[in-house]
Chains A and B, each alone.
Chain A
Amino acid sequence: MEKIDENMVFVLNSQQSPEDSDLLHLEWAVVSQLDGQKTVRQIAENLALNTAEVEEIFKKLVSEELLVLVDRSEDDDIVPGELFKYVNHEMTLLLGPVAGIILEDVMEMMRLSRENFDRRKFLGLIDLLTNQIDDPVKQIEFQRNIYPKIKQYLLK
């Protein structure tokens, strides 16, 4: 691999153990961050690495065949607006008109908007929204109500 793009996502190669390689401390730190979801940029941010450092580490790990690139071509898309409307509607039934404000606040906290909301972050949004509901019974009710739509969208 000639170039490591900051939007690439890697997982550990199941055929190779990093323990068999002579990894440096920072390389182990990168390996421990791999979860099949974090991009190279997010890992660099988490570990306070600059572009050159993170690229060098990933290049080494890839060259030693410790990493596998995750193919994100099929699911690399944006959450459709109707799903937000649906979530907002279900939250409003439980929390009243404040639901819309909570939804916007949580998205702002995630630094994402409805127009560019990555589908891989969507379940994180649902987690955060659920935590905004105080009553545990209503939390489950919210998740039960939205689950069929989420299933249809994410597990299609």
Chain B
Amino acid sequence: MIESYLKDLTQLKNVEAIAIYSLNNKLIDSWCDPNFNSKVLEELSLHYFQVFATLDLSVQNFQEIVITHEKGHFYTRILPNLLLIVLVRLPVEISLIRLIVNVKSIDLLNSRGLQKELKRSSVESKDFLNKKYLDESEKEYLKKLEI
């Protein structure tokens, strides 16, 4: 799926890994550079779901998070019914990653393959995030922070 619809991303020389998850944290597809440790992807998604859930709870409509580290970026994007994670090494232009995701994700989202995958999960919307990834005590704590 990634190689079909996000081929332009996989062809960028500094892109190391790409993963797509349904909103209930099920890996739908992943792609990575042969030298990349794919286990990293498994550990990342849950953290991002929690971050997006926190933002969702505080009605901050963030759709994209870019975290820069000393060797590259973690680019993550919430698309309708999906979480997309792209790991890139420096130097790379995040504007280019964003542009490709904007342009190419439309066909991905409309693809029959993805629709089939998503049908198996009962997730309908991103409101689901804060229900699934934050428990009551976490929600209470976040409300007190007033973020």
Contacts and interface: CB of A to CB of B under 8 A. Distances in A.
B3 to A, nearest CB: 17
Interface string B17-44: 0000000000000000000000000000
Contacts of A154: 96
A70 B91 contact: yes
**Chain A contact patch, size range:** 20 to 34
Q: Is the interface of A mostly helix, strand, loop or mixed?
A: helix
Interface in A40-93: 70
Nearest to B69: A12
Nearest to B102: A143
Contact of A31 (B8, B70, B91): B70
B99 A35 contact: no
Nearest to A120: B93
A21 interface: no
B98 A127 contact: yes
B1 interface: no
Interface of A: 9, 11-12, 14, 17-18, 31, 34-37, 70, 120, 123-124, 126-127, 139-140, 143-144, 147, 150-151, 154-155
